[in-house]
Amino acid sequence: MDTVLLEKYARLVVKTGINLQQGQTLVISSPIECAAFTRAIAQIAYQEGARDVVLNWKDELSAKIRFLHAPEEIFDEFPDWQKEFYLSYARQGAAFVSVAASDPELLKEVKPERVMKAQKASSTALKEYRERMMSNKNTWCVVSVPTAAWAKKVFPDLTADAAIEKLWEAILKTVRVDQQDPVAAWEAHKQYLKKSMDFLNAHNFKELHYQNSLGTDLKIELPEGHLWLAGSEFTPEGVEFIANMPTEEVFTLPKKDGVNGKVVSSKPLNYNGNLIENFSLTFKDGKIMEYSAQKGQAVLEKLIGTDEGSHYLGEVALVPFDSPISNANILFYNTLFDENASCHLAFGKAYPVCIKDGSEQDKETLAKRGVNDSLVHEDFMVGTADLSITGITQTGETVSIFKNGNFAF
């Protein structure tokens, strides 16, 4: 990759993504394949006044060897020092960048039980850390750069080099690094997202009704005090940051026990190196009562079975079918991109920041207000070209929100 573009992208992450503050520590979790990009971020972070940049390297092929060959009981353990690593930096007020670039089919030969055990052990150990992130106590940003294995999955007919190049091109476009001044482009983009966010907040809908020809017919109640968010977010101290780059969504949370009907997925879901495809879920009073997947049924079963909260939803996000990532017409097999190309919902934990005063309230209060809690938060895509969403106001009027896959207002 052209070093000028790489630096331009890295600068965008440091300035607009985490909005690094003078004297702040930065923790970067990155696959070893993405080292050139991660080093560029580190260098710019120091130039911008970072106190320290801590590199948390990941090697997914080593992780795969461990999943295939280690004794099974090891996956119930999560090392204390790793828990301490994340928590201590979080408590110090560090910023966190994660580079998400896994091979979508990395773990297909691994027994799903092993992966799920490891997932559960890690989310249990990192619960406090994750809660801090989901309440915006620290600034954080998830970004991506291509790896060979991932690029080959997205563009199977190309050589590895050509596939990487094509994936780079697509990614740079989605994060606006192809534009002359990406920082300014993001300012404009934030304003654009704010329009839909303001419309949805002003209407204070009681319920949303989703319908499409795939068979989705789902009613989602929204809790009192829910807030639609989009684009940038803020820490309690008022530091603005962008948690996902790219981001095209306007999102809030559902009322935990207020979801009824059926929803059908519209894109494959890459969950921990396994694909779940063509699945449907049926809800009653918020809980998933029935589910089936054409591919990845066992993985879906483990995901839903993680804990009580993983049987319920934690996010409602709107993305127009006619939007830049969706129009690129690329299936990325990476949730960071696919969720921003489609309306989506999430299994599990809701973001406390999506309800008024939520980030200052304890678990019990949030539960009473209808905010779901779980060890997992996993987005899945439901948007289609013919999706309609009707909003029902507090006084029972209906307002068209989505028509033929796009915002109707």
Residues 77-106 that bind Zn ion (CB under 5 A): none
The angle, 0 to 180 degrees and rounded to 10, between the axes of the packed helices 60-69 and 112-125 is 120
Report the chain's C-alpha Rg in angstroms.
20
> Does 346 engage in binding with Zn ion (CB under 5 A)?
yes
CB of 379 to Zn ion, least distance (A): 4
Q: Select from 94, 80, 27, 36 the least CA-distant residue to 56.
A: 27
CB of 298 to Zn ion, least distance (A): 23
Report yes or no: 291 and 280 within 8 Å, Cβ to Cβ. yes
> Does 315 engage in binding with Zn ion (CB under 5 A)?
yes
Cβ proximity to Zn ion: between 147 and 247 the closer is: 247
Cβ proximity to Zn ion: between 264 and 346 the closer is: 346
Cβ proximity to Zn ion: between 344 and 369 the closer is: 344
Mask for 237-276, x = binds Zn ion (CB under 5 A): ------------x-x-------------------------
Cα angle, residue 27 at apex, residues 129 and 148 outer, rounded to 5° = 105
Which of these segments, 287-295, 303-311, 372-380, 383-391, binds Zn ion (CB under 5 A)? Answer: 372-380
Which of these segments, 7-15, 147-155, 294-302, 344-352, binds Zn ion (CB under 5 A)? Answer: 344-352
Q: Select from 79, 387, 35, 20 the least CA-distant residue to 213.
A: 387
> Does 379 engage in binding with Zn ion (CB under 5 A)?
yes
> Does 233 engage in binding with Zn ion (CB under 5 A)?
no
Sign of the CA dihedral 200, 202, 208, 210?
Answer: negative
Report yes or no: 100 and 30 within 8 Å, Cβ to Cβ. no
Cβ proximity to Zn ion: between 20 and 313 the closer is: 313
CB of 339 to Zn ion, least distance (A): 5
Cβ proximity to Zn ion: between 6 and 142 the closer is: 142
Binding site for Zn ion (CB under 5 A): 249, 251, 315, 317, 346, 379
